Amino acid sequence: MELAVSEHSLISRLPSVRGKLRPGADLAKSNWFQVGGLAEVLFKPENTQDIAQFLKHKSSDIAVTVLGVGSNILIRDGGISGVVIKLGRGFTDCHAEGDRVTVGAACLNSNVVEFAKNHGIGGLEFLSGIPGGIGGALAMNAGAYGFETKDILVEAEVVDPHGTIHVMTPDKLNYSYRKCGLPYGWVFTRATFQGHAEKSDIIASNAAKIAEQRQNTQPVRSRTGGSTFKNPEGFKAWKLIEAAGCRGMKIGGAQISEMHCNFMINNGNATAYDIETLGEKVREQVLHHSGILLEWEIKILGNLPEAQSQEIIAA
């Protein structure tokens, strides 16, 4: 059962915005798993000031959830209550100055690498190995191939839940492995990254090697949310999953990838419940086999429909 949406009840309580407010938006179209319910209200802001003014003037009892390009999230079938902020075109610009690149939080990681290549700025190529956009990379200190977002970050623009805009350096963000230390509800809008002067053909070669490695080892053409679980200290999540006998495991339309077993995929008819249930089953089997409880890297958002909640209670 999807989130019940009253078309005007919440909209009427929201402050005016320069962007767009849409009740009952289908969030399955906004994430890479292509599952999930409705947003009670979807807010697509025009710019950073639009976000700041909205957060400053909205009622404190109205929940806010922030979505990037939807790569590393799972939205439950019951949808998301309150307001979902999704950054769009107003947050995809890129600028170069010397060997630094400043980009909007909705810019795809791969596009940042391409922009940097065209301006002879190297050192950002690892971003092409991370599915999704800059906002998500900032929010979780995303990493790949030995590098993390914090390693190249000069500063980030972020809006707090009260509508104040901050410019913060990595030390203020308290980054750790796949984690940002800011409280929930802060919205990343822009970032400046430090690169170095490099020939464009070398940058292109580095990015191509990463792309080839991803295609050979990850289900990049499937409906997936990227890496499912964080690597426990001293271990690789995929090795623990394989050792527990979970490679290829299926529940409904969800499956653990045969190519890389720290990826879950939607075979075309999965529900969010199938995917979450499969993930929890994997965690259970890994714990039983190795004594290690895997921690979700994918962020799970939203509400379980009543029927699914009853199934969990019954179980």
For residue 78, give every residue at least 6 positions away whose Cβ sits within 8 Å of its Cβ, in sequence order, or none.
Answer: 1, 2, 3, 37, 302, 303, 304, 305, 306, 308
Confirm whether 297 is a catalytic residue.
yes
- Residue from 205, 266, 226, 45 nearest 137 by CA: 226
Alpha-carbon span 82 to 68, nearest angstrom: 17
Q: Are 257 and 219 in contact (CB under 8 A)?
A: yes
Instruction: Give the DSSP letter of residue 280.
Output: H
Please state at what angle helix 200-217 crosses helix 109-118, rounded to 10 degrees: 160
For residue 97, give every residue at least 6 positions away whose Cβ sits within 8 Å of its Cβ, in sequence order, or none.
Answer: none
**Joined tokens for residue 109:** 């990681």
Cα first-last separation, the chain: 19
- Distance of CA 66 to CAs 63, 95, 113, 162, 229, Å? 10, 24, 24, 14, 21
Enumerate the β-bridge partners of residue 256: 264
> Of residues 71, 227, 257, 283, which has the active-site annotation?
227
> Of residues 22, 114, 178, 222, which has the active-site annotation?
178
DSSP sequence for 232-267: PTTS-HHHHHHHTT-TT-EETTEEE-SS-TTEEEE-
Confirm whether 214 is a catalytic residue.
no
> Of residues 40, 148, 157, 297, which has the active-site annotation?
297
Enumerate the β-bridge partners of residue 157: 167, 190
Confirm whether 178 is a catalytic residue.
yes
Q: Which residues are catalytic?
A: 178, 227, 297
